[in-house]
Amino acid sequence: MRKITREMMRGKPLDADCKRYGRSDSNQFGPGDNRCYCTGIWNRMYDEYEKKCYGCKAFNRNATPLPKIS
């Protein structure tokens, strides 16, 4: 299967800081999951992730399990 990149998950190109600071996190739900999520951008000043990460579809905390195939 073809890998689904962070850019595809997000639905638009990655920002410069996403490319620089965000890291890929693949196989979130096992070896059959070909989606690639992002670990997010940690903001040390506030000890939390950047606000734009919470609304991003590629952020690994927004990951949803694969649909079950019957």
pLDDT of residue 11: 93
> Mind listing the pLDDT tens digit for each residue in 43-53?
988 899 999 99
- DSSP states along 23-34: -EEE-TTSTT--
**CA–CA gap between residue 44 and residue 16 (Å, rounded):** 18
Q: Residue 15: what are its φ and ψ, rounded to 5°?
A: -70, 165
> Mind listing the pLDDT tens digit for each residue in 1-28?
688 999 999 999 999 999 999 999 998 8
Reply yes or no on whether the pLDDT at 39 is more than 90: yes
Entry pTM: 0.81
Domain spans, the chain: 6-62
Tell me the pLDDT band of 56, cut-offs 50, 70 and 90.
very high
Three-state SS at 4 = strand
